[in-house]
Amino acid sequence: MPLASLLDQSKPVLVAVSGGADSVALLHRLLRSGYRCTVAHCNFHLRGEESDRDEAFVRDLCRRLDVELLVAHFDTKAHAAANHQSIEMAARELRYEWFAKILDQRGIQAVAVAHHADDAAETTLLNMTRGTGLRGLTGMKPKVGRVVRPMLNFSRADIENYCRANKLDYVDDSSNASDDYARNKIRHHVIPALKGINPSFLATMRANADHLQGVYEIFLSQVADFVRTHVRTAPGGDIHIDADALRAQAASEPFLYEILTPKGFSPRQVADIARRVDERQSGKVFLAADNRVVVDRASVILTPKPDQKAATLVAVFGKTGGEALAPLHVVVSVFDVGEGFAPSRDPMVQHLDAASLAFPLTLRRWRKGDTFRPLGMRGEKKLSDFFVDRKMSLPQKEQAAVIVSADGRVASVVAMRIDDRCKVGPHTRRVVEVRLVKE
């Protein structure tokens, strides 16, 4: 792809230079084309003296070319351990976060990285071995946000020939020779075998990726239509994906993959969720790092993972005020009323006869074994059965809160039903108002 289609020549460019042939060739090409470059070099301290050797080489290179150099030192192993990441993922996260800071601080248009055709093919094959959706087969893109890849049309052999022709020195990373990494196994064994079958393998992979990118963009438009029509956000923030609409698709899994993998769910989890939707199996819970999916009767429900501290929070109310119970904001107030007072018909507002209650009142999550006498009924009912009758999903049940009188009775299931013994009657003179406020 022409440089002019990726970068504005009137603006500076940040160039990621490791010291290897590909990044040295990239820097040389940009400088020769008239771009104003600042070099960024990352020392990940993963290869001992060799890491320091690479840094020294890049420092000398920038001095000879009279190019500004920025260097960052990272404790990559510590970062990987702290975040439960692979070394490769940790290094990627560290360098791109640093690049983004430089771009923001200096107003630089983009960072140029030296990924080439071999890298793109390796990434696609690696995605296939680990499991991927259509997106993972579309290969590396020349430009994603503020990251540009001007070398994707060149193979590793092309780049090494370029360095020889222009008498460019570079350093070799000894870890590239090891088969300890999955990428290196693909590089050393799989791609050479595929090139033996098709000498134009890299060009074929690039053409395949371009074709799949077009197909993927068509599919994404279908996903967007599906989301607009069949995905809704409930008042509490839970996301409901219509299960019948999923089953009406030729295949539900690709749609779920695009919706759920950005939320941290693995391809294997998505496949299991899709199977349960297709087979109408409900009640299963799937957990990601920060989110949770519940396969319910009518919906696939996506919610943030419950906060156990919030779930056990107890807030005590006096006679004249209230406190917040995340993610609910419940205000309790007590006031006098005259004859003819009518309880609110707003489901978010409940009125209780203060004379039927013992203070202080407690706001808490419902518990297994809780019972009450639903308004209009004569007998006791377990809250768990009450929720079943209302066909409430698991996330909705977990969000249910109750107001408990000091004598232990459940006086109200907030925003749902009050206890019949606490209802406002003709002799009520003082009222407790329970108001659920939506933030």
CA distances for 243 relative to 28, 231, 252, 399, 402, angstroms? 55, 10, 9, 22, 30
* CA pair distance 329, 437, nearest whole angstrom: 5
Which residues of the chain carry a pLDDT beneath 70? 1, 235-236, 306-328, 339, 437-439
Q: Are strands 37-43 and 13-16 parallel, antiparallel or unpaired?
A: parallel
For the chain, the distance separating the N- and C-terminal CA atoms, rounded to the nearest angstrom, is 49
Query: Which fold, 309-437?
Result: Phenylalanyl-tRNA Synthetase; Chain B, domain 3 (3.50.40)
Both tokens of 199, joined, read 């000498």
259, 16, 276: which is closest to 150 by C-alpha? 16
Question: How long, in residues, is the chain?
Answer: 439
Both tokens of 27, joined, read 């820097």
* pLDDT tens digits for range 133-185: 888 899 899 999 999 999 999 999 999 999 999 999 999 988 887 787 788 89
182, 171, 208, 172: which is closest to 122 by C-alpha? 182
Any idea where the domains of the chain sit in the sequence? 3-208, 234-304, 309-437
> How much is the pLDDT for 438?
61
Do the beta carbons of residue 63 and residue 71 sit within 8 Å?
Answer: no
Question: Sign (positive/negative) of CA torsion 118, 146, 260, 285?
Answer: positive
> How much is the pLDDT for 328?
65
- For 406, phi and psi rounded to 5 degrees? -60, -20
Both tokens of 240, joined, read 């409901």
Do the beta carbons of residue 271 and residue 254 sit within 8 Å?
Answer: no
**This prediction's pTM:** 0.64
- For 211, phi and psi rounded to 5 degrees? -65, -45
> How much is the pLDDT for 395?
84
Do the beta carbons of residue 223 and residue 261 sit within 8 Å?
Answer: no
Taking residue 174's Cβ as centre, other Cβ atoms within 10 Å add up to 9
94, 9, 2, 116: which is closest to 46 by C-alpha? 94
> How much is the pLDDT for 310?
36
Do the beta carbons of residue 148 and residue 30 sit within 8 Å?
Answer: no
Is residue 151 exposed (0-12), middle (13-18) or buried (19+ Cβ within 10 Å)? buried
* CA pair distance 140, 142, nearest whole angstrom: 7
* CA pair distance 387, 370, nearest whole angstrom: 12
Q: Of the CATH numbers 3.40.50.620, 3.40.50.720, 3.10.110.10, 3.40.50.2300, which one belongs to the domain with range 3-208?
A: 3.40.50.620
Both tokens of 406, joined, read 């000091």
**Cα 345 from chain centroid?**
40
SS (H, E, C) the chain: CCHHHCCCCCCCEEEECCCCHHHHHHHHHHHHCCCCEEEEEEECCCCCHHHHHHHHHHHHHHHHHCCEEEEEECCHHHHHHHCCCCHHHHHHHHHHHHHHHHHHHHCCCCEECCCCHHHHHHHHHHHHHHCCCHHHHCCCCCEECCEECCCCCCCHHHHHHHHHHCCCCCCCCHHHHCCCCHHHHHHHHHHHHHHHHCCCHHHHHHHHHHHHHHHHHHHHHHHHHHHHHHEEECCCCCEEEEHHHHHCCCCCHHHHHHHHHHHCCCHHHHHHHHHHHHCCCCCCEEECCCEEEEECCCEEEEEECCCHHHHCCEEEECCCCCCEECCEEEEEEEEECCCCCCCCCCCCEEEEEHHHCCCCEEEEECCCCCEECECCCCCCEEHHHHHHHCCCCHHHHHHCEEEECCCCCEEEECCCEEEHHHCCCCCCCEEEEEEEECC
